[in-house]
C-alpha cells in the first residue's frame, strides 16, 4: 500500500511510462490544480522499496481504524515507543542546562561533532568496562537509526551485506536506498544481493553460519528486534570467528542490551571483536529518550580496511561532514542517566517494562501459543502457525482494538508471527491481556 501524505501526485502526461514515475502537483491556481514535472530523474533505488516504511504504515492503519471506531479505546502494543516518564534526575539535568543557555555564562553553541568528552568517557566506562574500548572510539549521535544510515554512507554502494531474517527494517531499507541491492523477488519477498540469515525457532534464532555466504558487512542485532532473542556468548563467538575468517565487518546493534539479564551485552565482550565489529546503541530504550534523541557508535582503532586504513578515520570524516553533533541539552540528560543515581532510576523503568513483558508472555502462553522473547528484551514474538501476519494484525486490531506489528514487516521469516511490545502503561498492558484472552480463547 502506498500513501503520499497530503500531496497530490498525478502521472505526467508527457512521461507516462512505468507506474513508479509520478510528478507532484506543485502549483495551485484559482482555476484548479496545475501539474508540473521537473527534468530530474527519481533515484532509481527508491523505486525498489517494496512498501512504505513499516512503522508509518502501521500508523496509517491505526488512524484509519480510529476513524472507523471513534469511540474505541485503542491500545498500542505496536511501535516500540517508551511510555514511562523520564526520571526526575535526568529531566532536571536537561532543564537546568536549557535554562543556563539563557545566561551569558551558561550559553554554548556548537560542540564537538564526536560528542561531549565527559559523556563519551561515561559511555565507555558504563557500557564497555573491561573491553578495552576507549572514549576516543565513541561517537555520540542523535540515535542509532541515524548512525545506521551514516554507516551505509561510509560503506558505499559496492559492498555486499547480510542481515538476520527477521530483522529491523532500517538495515535493509538503507541498503536498498544507497544502492547495495538488486530488485525484490516477488515470490520470496527478498532483495537480490542481500544474504538473508534465517533466525527462527528451528535454529534457536541464530543463523547456520556453515551455510551462510561471505559478505562484506553483517548487520546483527542482539537482543534481536523483533524476536527478542539475546545471543549467547558461544553464538557471538561463532559470529566473530566467522567475520574474522571472511574478512567481514559486523555492524552490531545493541540498542536493547540493557534488558539482558544473562549473557553478553556488547560484542566487545567477545575476544577479537575489536578487529571486526562496529557497535551502535541508543539511550532511547535505556532511558526513554525516544523523543529526546541520543545514541552512540563505537568504532575501534584496530578495525581497518583491506588496505590497512583505519575505519575510524573515515567514520570521523562522515560524522564531521554530515553532522554538527548531538543536542547539548540531550547530552546533559545522557550524562545524568549515567550517574550513579541516574542509572538506578533508568534501570527502574527497564525493570517495569520487563514486568510488562512477563505479563504478555504469560497471557499468550496461557492461550496455548508459542511465544519467544520477552525475557531479555521488551518484545514478545508470538507464533500463529499457518496464518499471514498482516491478516493477524488486521484481525486483532478489528476485534480487540489493539495495535501489534506484523512479523512479515521484519522479513519473510516473520510471516506467521506478530511482534508485541512491552512498552506501555501497566493498566493498558493488563487491559490488553484481558482483551486478547477473550479474543483468542
pLDDT tens-digit map of 55-101: 888 989 999 999 999 999 999 999 899 999 999 999 999 999 999 99
**Using 50, 70 and 90 to split pLDDT, how confident is the model at 49?**
confident
- Among 185, 184, 182, which Cα is nearest to 193's? 182
Q: Does residue 106 carry a pLDDT above 50?
A: yes
User: 88-339 has which CATH code?
Assistant: 3.40.640.10
Which three cell numbers, joined as nine digits, stand for 41? 530523474
Give the span between the Cα atoms of 120 and 137, in whole angstroms.
9
Q: Does residue 238 carry a pLDDT above 90?
A: yes
pLDDT, tens digit (0-9, with 9 covering 90-100), for 381-424: 999 999 999 999 999 999 999 999 999 999 999 999 999 999 99
Q: Which residue shows C-alpha cell 516500540?
A: 80
Give the span between the Cα atoms of 151 and 218, in whole angstroms.
12
Q: Report the pLDDT value the prediction gives residue 277, as an integer from 0 to 100.
A: 98
What pTM does this model have? Answer: 0.91
SS3 at position 33: strand
Give the span between the Cα atoms of 332 and 334, in whole angstroms.
5
CA–chain centroid gap for 425, Å, is 22
Instruction: Cite the residue boundaries of each domain of the chain with CATH code 3.90.1150.10.
Output: 54-85+342-440
Q: What percent of the chain has pLDDT over 70?
A: 92
Lowest mean pLDDT among 14-18, 249-253, 307-311: 14-18
CA angle 51, 57, 60 (to 5 degrees): 140
Query: Can the peptide bond before residue 166 be classed as cis, meaning omega within 30 degrees of 0?
Result: yes
Lowest mean pLDDT among 32-46, 79-93, 302-316, 362-376: 32-46
Q: What percent of the chain has pLDDT over 90?
A: 87
Q: Report the pLDDT value the prediction gives residue 20, as an integer from 0 to 100.
A: 38
Determine the average pLDDT of the residues in 374-382. Answer: 97
Q: Does residue 328 carry a pLDDT above 50?
A: yes
Give the span between the Cα atoms of 67 and 1, in whole angstroms.
18
Neighbours of 124 (CB within 10 A): 20
Q: Report the CATH fold assignment for 54-85+342-440.
A: 3.90.1150
**Using 50, 70 and 90 to split pLDDT, how confident is the model at 35?**
confident
Instruction: Cite the residue boundaries of each domain of the chain with CATH code 3.40.640.10.
Output: 88-339
Residue 219 near residue 254, CB atoms below 8 Å: no
- Across 154-291, where does the E strand assignment appear? 161-165, 184-185, 190-191, 194-198, 217-221, 249-253, 277-282
Lowest mean pLDDT among 13-17, 127-131, 208-212, 429-433: 13-17
Q: Report the pLDDT value the prediction gives residue 51, as an integer from 0 to 100.
A: 65
Which three cell numbers, joined as nine digits, stand for 103? 545566561
Determine the average pLDDT of the residues in 195-214. Answer: 97
Amino acid at each position: 500500500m502506498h500513501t503520499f501524505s497530503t500531496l497530490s501526485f498525478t502521472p505526467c502526461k508527457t512521461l507516462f511510462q512505468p507506474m513508479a514515475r509520478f510528478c507532484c502537483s506543485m502549483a495551485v491556481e484559482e482555476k484548479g490544480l496545475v501539474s508540473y514535472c521537473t527534468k530530474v530523474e527519481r533515484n532509481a533505488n527508491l523505486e525498489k522499496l517494496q512498501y512504505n516504511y513499516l512503522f508509518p504504515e502501521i500508523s496509517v492503519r491505526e488512524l484509519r481504524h480510529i476513524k472507523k471506531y471513534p469511540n474505541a479505546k485503542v491500545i498500542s502494543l505496536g511501535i516500540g515507543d517508551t511510555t514511562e516518564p523520564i526520571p526526575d534526575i535526568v529531566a532536571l539535568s536537561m532543564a537546568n542546562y536549557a535554562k543556563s543557555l539563557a545566561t551569558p555564562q551558561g550559553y554554548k553553541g556548537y560542540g564537538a561533532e564526536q560528542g561531549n568528552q565527559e559523556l563519551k568517557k561515561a559511555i565507555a566506562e558504563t557500557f564497555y568496562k573491561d573491553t578495552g574500548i576507549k572514549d576516543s572510539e565513541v561517537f555520540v549521535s542523535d540515535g542509532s537509526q541515524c548512525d545506521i544510515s551514516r554507516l551505509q554512507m561510509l560503506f558505499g554502494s559496492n559492498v555486499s551485506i547480510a542481515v538476520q531474517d527477521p530483522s529491523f527494517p532500517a538495515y535493509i531499507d538503507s541498503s536498498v536506498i544507497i544502492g547495495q541491492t538488486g530488485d525484490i523477488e516477488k515470490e520470496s519477498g527478498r532483495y537480490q544481493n542481500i544474504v538473508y540469515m534465517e533466525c527462527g525457532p528451528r535454529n534457536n534464532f541464530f543463523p547456520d553460519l556453515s551455510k551462510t555466504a561471505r559478505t562484506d558487512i553483517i548487520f546483527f542485532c542482539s537482543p534481536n528486534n523483533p524476536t527478542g532473542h539475546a545471543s549467547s556468548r558461544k553464538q557471538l563467538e561463532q559470529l566473530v570467528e566467522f567475520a574474522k575468517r571472511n574478512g567481514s565487518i559486523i555492524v552490531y546493534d545493541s540498542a536493547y542490551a540493557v534488558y539482558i539479564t544473562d549473557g553478553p551485552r556488547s560484542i566487545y565482550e567477545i575476544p577479537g571483536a575489536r578487529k571486526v565489529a562496529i557497535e551502535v546503541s541508543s539511550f532511547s530504550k535505556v532511558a526513554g529518550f525516544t523523543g529526546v534523541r541520543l545514541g552512540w557508535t563505537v568504532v575501534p582503532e584496530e578495525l581497518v580496511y583491506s588496505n590497512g586504513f583505519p575505519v575510524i578515520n573515515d567514520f570521523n570524516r562522515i560524522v564531521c561532514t554530515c553532522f554538527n553533533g548531538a543536542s547539548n541539552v540531550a547530552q546533559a540528560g545522557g550524562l545524568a542517566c549515567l550517574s550513579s543515581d541516574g542509572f538506578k532510576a533508568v534501570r527502574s523503568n527497564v525493570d517495569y517494562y520487563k514486568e510488562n513483558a512477563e505479563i504478555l508472555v504469560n497471557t499468550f502462553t496461557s492461550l496455548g501459543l508459542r511465544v519467544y522473547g520477552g525475557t531479555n528484551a521488551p518484545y514478545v514474538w508470538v507464533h500463529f502457525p499457518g496464518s499471514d501476519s498482516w491478516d493477524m494484525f488486521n484481525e486483532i486490531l478489528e476485534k480487540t482494538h489493539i495495535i501489534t506489528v506484523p512479523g512479515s514487516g521484519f522479513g519473510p521469516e516473520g510471516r506467521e508471527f506478530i511482534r508485541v511490545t512491552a512498552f506501555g502503561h501497566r493498566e493498558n498492558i493488563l487491559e490488553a491481556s484481558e482483551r486478547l484472552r477473550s479474543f483468542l480463547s
